[in-house]
Structure 1
Amino acid sequence: MDETTVDDGSAIRDGFSGQRMLVVPRAAVAKALRHPVTGKLMVTDAGHFPHAARHGRVRPRGAREHVLLVCTDGTGWCRTEGTRFTVSRGGTVLLPADRPHAYGALEADPWTLWWFHFTGVDAADLVRTAHAAAGGPVTHLRDPAPVVSLVSQVIDALDSGLTASAFIEAAGAAWHALTRVVATGRRGPGSDLSPLERAAAHLRAAAPRRTSVTALADMVGLSASQLTALFRERLGVTPLQFQVQLRMTRARELLDGTDLPVAAVARETGYDDPMYFSRQFTRVHGVSPTGYRSGAHGVRAAGSDHDPG
């Protein structure tokens, strides 16, 4: 476990239960920055640190990339440009590249942090625009869930592999997250959605990728048990069951409207194992994917070369 020493002499560390952290190899970053899309905005690192006791960073010369931090629970601090800020739930910090800064969790109430580092030819303009809108590096989001949902999608994209398409997907989600921060600074924060609605919106946006209940609860400021109870009370299912429903809805759409093989439908709906997908589909629908497609359910019956029109 790595440690850094802050200027009050205390140690701050990496490595937290339930964390996710993705670091793109710098050779891959250099190649991506020559791409016409990711050359404009490239995410180099991203992560989620839940209840990150004694976490922090001290960078006397700043980071090589710009840094976005979003706090969804607990409290931390950030020092930059000669000012120290308290960062609590909804606190969002944008740190420009190559500027000295330090940040960390408060010992008594450690923060839950979502973050990514980014670079590219458009990155500095986004940071400057956000600072101008907010009047400084710190913005408060009354509802951080939409931005955190996008950060989660950045993490998921990087986790899917070191490919151009993954980097483009991460860049798109990052761009959306950053522009939301800019818009919040201009208009002031606000959201009328309940925690349940925000959680469900994230699951729909992230499908078919699976989001853990703990990460989902962190996004909307609840405990995992509170969120699960809300899903059961209002929707009659757990968050994981809700995700299965979303996957199965997408599976039906693909079986109805395409000629993709069942194995390809499984992959498109987030299942690496076609046999497991078939068992899940049969359990939910009472018929196998092949039986569903060949019956009256599908738009295209097996063996038909006619598309109704």
Structure 2
Amino acid sequence: MSIGEGFPGERLRILPPAVARAAGASPITRELLVTDAGWFPHALHHGRQRLLGAGASVVIVCTAGRGWCRATQDDSATTLHVRAGQALVLPAQLGHRYGSMADDPWTIIWMHAAGPQARAFEASLPDGGRRPVVIDLHDRARIQQLMEEVLTTMEVDDTLPSLMRTSGAAGNVLAHLAADAAAGPPMRQAPLRRVFAHLRDHLDHPVVVSELAELAGLSPSHFAALFRAATGGGVVAYVTRLRIARASELLATTTLPVAEVGRIVGYEDPLYFSRRFRAVQGISPRLFREAHAHDPPEQIPRDAWPSGHAAG
């Protein structure tokens, strides 16, 4: 027999329907509203079945133990296994059942999130929200902190300011989960971390894929495939974005000649630098500087300061 709630030490908050409806009048909570949230420690025999799904996106973060999930609309659906350091996402209106493993009951912190931001989050996931998804967390402590913020704020009260704060934390959770899902398992990223740091620190160095692959401890073909999966493009495209981002900063914050800026970020030929810059930013380096360089700050007249706050 499975139970939905009632675990020793559990915490649970559910918004009254009238409060949830009233929150729809606020621009912030209309976009994203947490309607339910909870913390279930060592949830032995925990289980839920919703044949028609929930009315909101269900996010379950597993902090200890293990659990499982399966979509109910598809008899051939694979059973997903969830362990500590992973999040389970159940799209709204998708029939599902899930539960805690009897031999290693999970501890979970969870929320139901509704609104356009939640739907956009679902659409960003694999299969566009048509099936449950298990996501490996890249920063477990940060996600748990944000989920705790969601629940703690709901425990204060259900006034609009509290609901707004809850929406802010929940939006941060969804953004982290979407990014983690796009990046793939953290272990897949591990060989690339040294490469990313090397590229950031050596923008003026030539890009040699075979050398980067050696730095990552991978074959060139495996490295190229892993890099593309992690960044959405090839090494040259990634380095170009890094270089132009740094060049943009230098153009906006220094008076260095444009050619010198180009050399600093790895472009010895000023004309080639200008072409690459225009391809990314849409305008030449000179026009970018004119549009974004800051004028020297003006001093506020002493008599314009409020009494007792004049600058020393």
TM-score over 0.5 for the pair: yes
Match of 2:155 in 1: 159
**Cα drift, residue 188 of structure 1:** 3.0
What residue is the counterpart of 1:176 in the other structure?
A: 172
Pairing partner for 1:117 from 94, 107, 112: 112
Kept after mapping to 2: 8 A contact 1:51/1:111: yes
Given that 1:67 and 1:97 are in contact with CA atoms closer than 8 Å, whether structure 2 keeps it comes out as: yes
Aligned 8 A contact 2:91 2:132 in 1: no
1:187 is aligned, of 183, 187, 205, to: 183
Larger Rg: 2
Secondary structure, in 3 states, of the residue corresponding to 1:39?
helix
Shift of 1:25: 0.5
1:134-145 matches, within 5 Å, as 137-145=133-141
Query: Is contact 1:32-1:39 (8 Å) kept?
Result: yes
Provide the rounded CA distance (Å) in 1 between the counterparts of 2:43 and 2:62. 11
Q: Tell me the TM-score normalised to structure 1 length.
A: 0.57
Q: Deviations over 1:96-128 (max 9, x none)?
A: 111100111011100010100011122211112
Counterpart mapping for 1:1-309 below 5 A = 10-80=1-71, 82-131=77-126, 137-190=133-186, 306-307=308-309, 309=311
* CA positional deviation for 1:93: 1.2
CA contact (8 A) 2:143 2:176 kept: yes
Say if 1:13 and 1:122 are closer, same or farther in 2 by CA, change over 3 A: closer
Tell me the CA shift for residue 132 of structure 1.
5.1
CA offsets per residue over residues 183-216 of structure 1, 9 Å max, x none? 111223449xxxxxxxxxxxxxxxxxxxxxxxxx
SS of 2:120 mapped into structure 1: helix
Secondary structure of 2:52's partner? coil
SS at match of 2:110: strand
> What's the RMSD between the two structures over aligned residues?
2.1
* Aligned equivalent of 1:281: none
Question: In the alignment, is the contact (CA less than 8 A) between 2:49 and 2:98 conserved in 1?
Answer: yes
Q: Distance in 2 between matches of 1:108 and 1:143?
A: 26
Deviates more, 1:160-169 or 1:79-88: 79-88
User: In 1, distance between residues paired with 2:69 and 2:132?
Assistant: 12
2:9 is paired with a residue of what secondary structure? coil
* Number of corresponding residues: 187
Aligned partner letter, 1:148: Q
Opposite residue 108 of structure 1, the aligned amino acid is: D
SS in 2 for 1:162: coil
Note if contact 1:143-1:190 (Cα within 8 Å) is conserved in structure 2.
Answer: no
Report how far residue 143 of structure 1 moved: 3.9
AA partner of residue 154 (structure 2): L
Kindly indicate whether the alpha-carbon contact (under 8 Å) linking 2:4 and 2:47 is maintained by their aligned counterparts in 1. yes
C-alpha deviation, 1:87, in angstroms: 0.6
Contact 2:57 2:91 in 1 (8 A): yes
Q: Distance in 1 between matches of 2:50 and 2:60?
A: 15
CA 1:161–1:136: 2 relative to 1, 3 Å: closer
Q: Return the offset for 1:38.
A: 0.6
Which residue in the other structure is 2:214 paired with? none
Query: Any idea what SS the aligned residue of 1:16 has?
Result: coil
Distance 1:131 1:72 in 2: 23
Please state whether the residue corresponding to 2:123 is helix, strand or coil.
helix
Q: CA deviation at 1:307?
A: 4.1
Conserved in 2, the CA contact under 8 Å of 1:133 and 1:182? no
1:120 partner letter = G
1:140: Cα distance to partner? 1.5
Identity %: 35
Structure 2 unaligned residues grouped into runs of 5+: 188-306
Unaligned ranges ≥5, structure 1? 1-9, 192-304
**Distance in structure 2 (CA, Å) of the matches to 1:132 and 1:169:** 30
Cα pair 1:92 1:141 within 8 Å, conserved: yes
Aligned residue identity for 2:122: V
Q: Is the 8 A contact 1:33 1:120 kept in 2?
A: no
**Displacement of 1:13:** 4.2
